[in-house]
Amino acid sequence: MNDEMEEIILEFITEAEESLDRIEPSFVELEKKGEDKELLNNIFRSMHTIKGAAGFLGFQPIVDVAHASENIMKRLREGEISLSRPLMDSILKSVDMLRLLLSHLKEKDGVEEHTAPLVQELGDA
């Protein structure tokens, strides 16, 4: 991998981690306030950005998890589903999985996580 691509990937990891750092407190606030449109929009945009950049770089497991989470945010925003404890737990699992996937990229350890069960869980919400 050339130095330029390495730099792009490192920048993606940094930005994605910063997005996740902003998302987590939003979930705490969402639990307190309920279905706050502004918070949902912010979380949706962050997931959308992570998904798009990961897609551009070919990191499909990150795309899959972010896309499934993004879909939940969209459905919450549109009132198709309601926020519940199990739903919140699933979304928080997606944040944890995204952090884990990013750590594997950062460490270049080649470890692949099995994301399909989580993606299914999010899709079933």
47 half-sphere exposure, CB direction, 13 A CA radius:
27
pTM of the predicted structure, to 2 decimals? 0.94
The DSSP secondary structure of 17-56, one letter per residue, reads HHHHHHHHHHHHHHHHH-S-HHHHHHHHHHHHHHHHHHHH
pLDDT in tens, 18-27: 999 999 899 8
Q: What is the mean pLDDT of the chain?
A: 93
Of 3-7, 12-16, 63-67, give the lowest mean pLDDT range: 3-7
pLDDT in tens, 27-51: 888 888 877 889 999 999 999 999 9
| Sign, CA torsion 90/27/17/70 | positive
* CA 68 remoteness from chain centre: 8
Give the per-residue pLDDT at 119. Answer: 97
Q: Which residue has the higher pLDDT, 33 or 94?
A: 94
Residue 65 CB neighbour total at 10 angstroms:
27
37-57 vs 3-33: helix crossing angle, rounded to 10 = 160
Provide the 3-class DSSP secondary structure of residue 87.
helix
Nearest to 37 by CA among 74, 6, 4, 84: 74
Residue 14 has pLDDT above 80, yes or no: yes
Confidence of residue 102 (pLDDT cuts 50, 70, 90): very high
